[in-house]
Amino acid sequence: MTAALLVIDVQNDFCPGGALAVPGGDEVVPGINELMTAFGDIILTQDWHPAGHSSFASAHPGKGPFETVEMAYGAQVLWPDHCVQGSHGGAFHPGLDTAPARVVIRKGMSPEIDSYSAFFENDRATPTGLDGYLQTRGITELVMVGLATDFCVQFSALDAARLGYKVTVRRDLCRAIDLDGSLAQAEAAMAGAGVLLE
C-alpha cells in the first residue's frame, strides 16, 4: 500500500482571528509539519471562493451565517465570507510547511456550488481531479488532517472511503467547527463508513 497525506484547508480564515475561525485551528500546524516528514506524497487543499460565492450568507438577503438554505444540490449551511481567492484569509497559515506538497487542490471555485470535499463538489458528483491524481500515483491509502473535522475533513473522508481508499483521520491533528452536534454526527458517519479515527 502506498499512503499519501491529505492536509485539508489549513488557511488563515479557519484559524483564530480568521473570518470562519475554528477553535484551536492553528494548534494543528506544528504536528502536521512534523507528520509531513513521514510521507512522500503530500496534497494540500485550499478553500478558494470567488467573491460573492453562493455559500456566503452575504449572498442571501435576509439570511445570516450558520443558517441553512436549500440549494439545487441539497441543504447548504451559509458561512461568513471566507477564503476569498487571493485574500490573506485564503492563504495557508504562515506556519504551515507548504514546500513538501506535490499538489494543491483548490475547491469551492464554482460560484453556484460549494465544495467541502477534496474529491467532489457538494453535489457529490462533480470531481476535483484528486482521485485521478491518486490513482495514477498508485496511492491506495490516505491519512487526513486539518480543518474542519466536521465539514471538509468529514466530506473528504467519506468520499475517499466510497472511492475505495483506506482512510485514517488523525483527530489530534484536526479541529472542528461543531455546529449543533455536527462533530459527533461527523465522527459517527466516518466510523460507519469504515474510516479509521485515530
Residues at the contact surface with ligand VGL, assessed by CB under 6 A: 9, 14, 47, 79, 116, 147-148, 151-152
Other C-beta atoms lying within 10 Å of the C-beta of residue 164: 10
Tell me which of 47, 121, 131, 187 binds Zn ion, using CB under 5 A.
47
Does 114 qualify as catalytic in the annotation? no
Say if CB 148 and CB 14 are below 8 A apart: yes
Say if CB 155 and CB 117 are below 8 A apart: yes
Does 152 qualify as catalytic in the annotation? yes
Does 107 qualify as catalytic in the annotation? yes
Say if CB 110 and CB 46 are below 8 A apart: no
| C-beta of 136 vs 156, nearer to ligand VGL | 156
Candidate ranges 44-52, 61-69, 125-133, 166-174; the one touching Zn ion (CB under 5 A): 44-52
Catalytic residue among 26, 81, 107, 114: 107
| C-beta of 18 vs 108, nearer to Zn ion | 108
| C-beta of 140 vs 182, nearer to ligand VGL | 182
Q: Does 131 bind Zn ion (CB under 5 A)?
A: no
d(CA 54, CA 77): 10
Closest CA to 118 of 126, 109, 128: 128
Residue 45 beta carbon to ligand VGL: minimum distance, rounded to whole angstroms? 8
Residue 151 beta carbon to Zn ion: minimum distance, rounded to whole angstroms? 8
Which three cell numbers, joined as nine digits, stand for 10? Answer: 489549513
d(CA 93, CA 156): 20
Which amino acids are annotated catalytic?
9, 107, 152
